[in-house]
Amino acid sequence: MAVHLVVVQGLWAILPAYASNMLATVVGGGAPVDGGRVWTDGRRVLGDGKTWRAVALAPLLAGLLGLGLHFVAPRAGMGVTDFGPAHWAFVHAYALALGALLGDMGASFVKRRLGKERGARWLGPDQYDFIAGALVLAFLISLITTPFVGYVWFLEAFTLGPLLVIMILTPALHLIVNGIGYLIGVKEVPW
């Protein structure tokens, strides 16, 4: 299969995760998820960069975007995935989007334990935490939906080619998107 098609398929399938991560910076703010609490090491559990508003709103909006992608998929062609049968599409897209923020929060937890302040740079996890969280949660949820859907949606959408594309292109995309976020002022640091 032509490489450019695989690139489109990979980015298409993971878009709800990217969107959720990006939207979090836009809609985030207010009460922190950790409620300001500190861990046994005296440092914040997650920090002020992880807020309830982002967790509640970003996956919802990104899930709706996924639902939009789902209905556009047949017309888009190029072998892009839908998100399962219509009444499960939002569930699958939402799983990717929520998983992205959970992965991001898991990384913040570890960052704080390593003594890295909010916004400190952590090359590797900063680029991949949300992708890992998105893929893991979407896989688990699609195992749960399998009896209703009739197949494992995750394995249809994330075949080896698209997965490789996501792994290879994510660091570069992350850099570009966060650079733009920094320039337009929604992110405090460009990573």
Query: CB of residue 98 vs ligand CTP: minimum separation in angstroms?
Result: 10
93-108 in b/e form (b: 16+ CB < 10 A) is: bbbbbbbbbbbbbbbb
Per CB under 6 A, the list member of 120, 149, 163, 175 interacting with ligand CTP is 120
The answer to whether residue 119 forms part of the interface with ligand CTP (CB under 6 A) is yes
Can you say whether the dihedral through the CA atoms of 174, 180, 186, 188 is positive or negative?
positive
Query: CB of residue 76 vs ligand CTP: minimum separation in angstroms?
Result: 29
Per CB under 6 A, the list member of 7, 8, 19, 24 interacting with ligand CTP is 24
Nearer to ligand CTP, 3 or 123 (CB): 123
Nearer to ligand CTP, 92 or 112 (CB): 112
Contact present, 153 and 110 (Cβ < 8 Å): no
Contact present, 16 and 66 (Cβ < 8 Å): yes
Contact present, 120 and 47 (Cβ < 8 Å): no
Query: CB of residue 121 vs ligand CTP: minimum separation in angstroms?
Result: 9
| DSSP characters over 109-159 | HHHHHTTPPTT---TTHHHHHHHHHHHHHHHHHHHHHHHHHSS-HHHHHS-
Per CB under 6 A, the list member of 6, 14, 19, 51 interacting with ligand CTP is 51
Per CB under 6 A, the list member of 14, 16, 23, 50 interacting with ligand CTP is 50
What residues line the site for ligand CTP (CB under 6 A)?
24-25, 28-29, 47, 49-51, 54-55, 101, 104-105, 108, 111, 118-120, 187
